[in-house]
Amino acid sequence: MLLMFKLKNLTYFLLMSIFSSVSLGTELVIEHVANAGVKISSGNNTVLIDALFGAHKRFNSLSEKAFTQLTKQGADVALTTHRHSDHFGAKRTSNFLKHNPDTLFISTPQVLKKLAGKVASPQLRTESLAAFQSKLFSHHNVNVSVLNFPHGDPGVHAKTQNYAYLVDINGWKVLHIGDAGINVEQIEGLKLAKKNIDVALIHDRCLRQSDCEQRIKQMNVGKVAFIHMTDEQIKPVSTWIKKNLANATMLVTGYESVSLKK
């Protein structure tokens, strides 16, 4: 009887442990850091995208105090979509990585050139990607598919490499496209509609396209959050959302986070 009691208790304990671990892992939180920068968290994992840049004249950015706090919190993976100063800063990125030696940093070849000699090479990953190509990286149970997704201003920024990231974190899939534009060719070429994307983080310049709503629907995403905007754009973007895509939201001042549960 004593053995049976112990076995029952052990079984109960194991089942509760499994249930608790699954329950804790069913929430996804995406926090606005600054401009297009976000912090993605689920379970015990954290990913930063476009969050490690310095002071900027046009777009909001983290103060030194806030950046220090972000550095103390750390991350499993840090990503930068491209080299522009409102998405990437060599000083803050190198400082963050030095204080978090177990963080894996992934970006374009152009960005990694700016970190050469400043960051230990085992922390850095990149890949030269051609049209519609992708590369998968894994670190601390986080899977990141790096997608070649050209900058939305090809005339002005034709030489700027822009990568999108499809982050698979604790069963959730989050897409961040940086400064990329959304068009049929990219959606079909990268087979985005088949990726089961839970949240897509999209530059608000999409709203300048007459077919923005159609392209978002073509991507077959669960939810859209618009990023990369100044505070005066909040009202017109909010108006567009209410009229065209009621399930969408923003990550900007006053709209600091998105939280989803399964």
Does residue 24 form part of some domain?
Answer: no
* pLDDT of the residue at 1: 52
Residues 70 and 39: their CA atoms lie apart, in Å, by 9
The alpha carbon of residue 139 and the mean position of all alpha carbons in its chain are separated, in whole angstroms, by 15
Residue 21 is predicted with a pLDDT of 45
Q: Please state, in angstroms and rounded to a whole number, the distance separating the CA atoms of residues 55 and 61.
A: 6
Q: What is the pLDDT of residues 9-59, one digit of tens each?
A: 544 444 444 444 444 448 999 999 999 999 999 999 999 999 999 999 889
Task: Please give the average pLDDT of every successive group of 10 residues along the chain, which has 262 residues.
Answer: 48 44 70 98 97 93 96 98 97 98 98 96 97 97 97 78 97 97 95 98 94 96 96 96 95 96 91
Asked, for residue 218, whether it belongs to a domain, the answer is yes
Within-domain flag for 164: yes
The confidence score (pLDDT) of residue 18 equals 41
* pLDDT, position 157: 75
187-199 tens-digit pLDDT = 999 999 999 999 9
pTM of the model: 0.90
261 found inside a domain: no
Give the range of the structural domain holding residue 245, as residue numbers without chain letter. Answer: 30-252
Name the domain count of the chain.
1
pLDDT, residue 54, reads 95
The sign one gets for the Cα dihedral 36, 224, 124, 109 is negative
Instruction: List the strands of the sheet with 142-148, edge to edge.
Output: 134-139, 142-148, 163-169, 172-176, 199-203, 223-227, 249-250
d(CA 237, CA 240): 5
Residue type, 116: A
Domain with residue 184: its CATH number is 3.60.15.10
